[in-house]
Structure 1
Amino acid sequence: MAEKEVPHIVISRLPIYLRALTLCIGEDREIISSQELGKMLGISPAQIRKDLSHFGEFGKQGTGYDVKYLREQLRRILKADREWEMALVGAGDLGRAIVLHYGRFKEQGFHIVAVFDKDPRKIGKRLDRFEILDSKLMSKIVKEKGIQIAIIAVPASEAQKVADTLVKAGVKGLLNYAPVTIHVPPGIRVQYIDPVVHLQRITYYL
């Protein structure tokens, strides 16, 4: 089934299933039922089966899912079975925190290959293993390396301009940490990470 026919909410749950299956492999589990997976994740077994049915048949009734096989199929569907090169824009406190957690990105096939900042006091210095590059070189380097994913870790006032430059250079996916909505052309994917938004969703229920 074509990607456009699958609801976005379904796609958003697939990485959660993948993470759970990876944990199961670490526990040497070979088979898992939708009931067991649902109990782990707080998602109904019927919802899990419906989500997976968008992509084919992966289990047998009364038997469950082969953990390794389903994990590999989800990796294929999410294109997580390949290596992805990324750019990081913003070498401030947030960018530094992202780099400190770089190991987890790398383990999952996401490799930061360029870090950019416009602050002349930072350009040329190192952020862990990465040399901080001048943002003026961003378009050129992104094009040369064929980078398709970028992380935006700049102030809100700069995020749209950065996004525009990245998209024009060929980036197709943006992970935006700036607390602002950015506008992109059709076909460009943006994911937002704003802890305050999530905290406000929590406080509504308190």
Structure 2
Amino acid sequence: MSVALANPRKTRAVRMLGPVDIAALQAAVLVLPEQVWDAENAAKPNRFEVLDATRHIVFRFVDSPRDWRASHDRAAWPYWRDLLEPVLTGAVRDYGYACGVFPRVMLARMPAGGVIHPHVDANPAAKWPHKIHVPLSTNAGTICFFGGAERHFPVGEAVEVDNLGPHWVRNGGDTDRIHLIFEYYDADQPDPDWLEPLPRASAAR
């Protein structure tokens, strides 16, 4: 499926969304025991070779890689919801969607020296939602490539990235890089013509 079939509202480079109050979420994330990261990472649904040694805690995820409209809460969501929702809603305030949906929500922790190899998010469920990062912990040596340029995203600044173009990340510092990463779309926006109708049971969620 070509990029031409993607949501025309998505950025083709980066879109800076402004500062977000991450204090409470950041404090909770930075004291998470290693065994929690290990256990959550072992159970994650997003297992892709390009992610290398990056560990994840996944809170929400799509039911199928072919469709963003059906998604579900994972076991960690109820415990983290009160910390996550203010950051999520703060990051997307400028979109102005009355019926915004977050189909995928996760923490991504890249170790010092880690890489995420060049790739595009090729599954159909990634074609429509905005892909948004909120850095919770980083260092000056962490560089990412989006929209044809190398960039550094500062802590607490939300940014939408082009996940359909080639992108990569390199942590050249000596500390971990932790981002809140999520997707967001407007449920009121008409579905694209190429998308199959949502099954009635899923549509009722």
Q: Determine if the TM-score, normalized by the shorter chain, exceeds 0.5.
A: no
Q: What TM-score, normalized by structure 2, do the two folds share?
A: 0.25
Structure with greater strand percent: 2
Q: Which has the higher contact order (CA 8 A, sep 6+)?
A: 2
Q: What TM-score, normalized by structure 1, do the two folds share?
A: 0.25
Structure with greater helix percent: 1
